[in-house]
Amino acid sequence: MGDFDKALENAKEGMRVDPDESRGYWISASAYMGLNRLEEAKTVAKEGLRLHPDFLFLHDTLANIALAQGDLTTMESEESRSKAEPDLEWLVFFRRGDIAASHGQLREAGDSFEGARQVGQRLQVKSGEAFAVAERGRVQALVGNRKEAMESANTSLEIFHDYNQKLFAGGVLAFAGENKKALDLAGEIAKSRPDDVLVQAVSVPLVRAAAALSSGDAAKAIELLKPARAYDKANPMVLFLRGLAFLKAGQGSEAAQEFQRVLALRNFVPADPLLSLAHLGLGRAYALQGDPQKSRTAYQDFFALWKDADPQIPILIAAKAEYAKLK
């Protein structure tokens, strides 16, 4: 829910009650990351490893903290320790895919997501295999490669199709414009899980809002996302989608606020490709507000992150054309 102070308070109490329970250290570190207190996040994760060297997943937490601090050498060092465990190796590949996607390096991202998929196959964990494929699809949908996005989403559903996978793939399909299948999936899960609060308030509305936006109905998308307000403080996907809807509706100020909220989570989800795309969203929002100076700065921030991007990505081509008109 993004209530990082409360999470930290409870995690600390959990560590006091049972210092041998691993989740206290992980949740404390994650809460500190959400509070932008990275050194404290690092300290508690290291303390967990000092007391319990077998809590190997804390190396992955330390890798995320290092990424948030821009310390790629330490990130790689922690990742090398994580690879001792196959399920943690999956996280390394997944993070590397998201990092590459954050810089528009889609070929490299695809290779990393394929690595994660292969780990899932080796472990015979269908959900891990499918989620890696669906994440590749999400990235393709976000940057405008709709055909590739739909192919990946549909492939992920062939591998595994529990309710989480259906909702994730449904969101990808909706972003890519395959609305009927996306809405069918969302309707099926909404009906089968009537008492699941996060499904009803966040996941299903996200799919339906993405479909509405793909159909050009920004007002409907904004309305559909209202139930997510209570839960979206730590959900960059909902914030980003709402920002896109406000952009489509011509509400530049509201759009800018949502993209700024995405960027405020940079230390909580440092690898998420939405962070770099939020800079582009800000550029577009400021242009709508008639502030070319702020708009240019935001576009330049995006271009700096995508300076080594693969050529011919639809969203990059569009951004360059928009930026040229600002001058």
Indicate whether 70 and 193 sit together in one domain: no
Indicate whether 159 and 278 sit together in one domain: yes
| Distance from C-alpha of 87 to C-alpha of 92, rounded to nearest angstrom | 9
- Domain span at residue 263 reads 85-326
Residues in the chain, total: 327
Q: Which of 81, 110, 141 is the last residue in one of the domains? A: 81
Q: What is the pTM of this model?
A: 0.94
Indicate whether 152 and 226 sit together in one domain: yes
**Could you state, in chain order, the average pLDDT of each consecutive group of 10 residues for the chain (327 residues)?**
95 94 94 97 95 91 96 94 79 95 97 95 94 96 96 96 95 96 97 96 97 96 95 94 97 97 97 97 96 96 97 96 91
Residue 176 in tokens: 């890519």
Q: Which of 30, 53, 81 is the last residue in one of the domains? A: 81
Indicate whether 205 and 227 sit together in one domain: yes
pLDDT of residue 114: 97
Indicate whether 50 and 90 sit together in one domain: no
Indicate whether 150 and 275 sit together in one domain: yes
CA distances from 270 to 63, 64, 68, 280 (A): 10, 7, 5, 17
pLDDT of residue 54: 87
Q: Which of 81, 112, 143 is the last residue in one of the domains? A: 81
Given a contact cutoff of 8 angstroms between Cβ atoms, the answer to whether 294 and 255 are in contact is: no
CATH number at residue 115: 1.25.40.10
Question: At what angle are helices 292-305 and 274-288 packed, to 10 degrees?
Answer: 160
Indicate whether 170 and 24 sit together in one domain: no
How many domains would you assign to the chain? Answer: 2
pLDDT of residue 85: 76
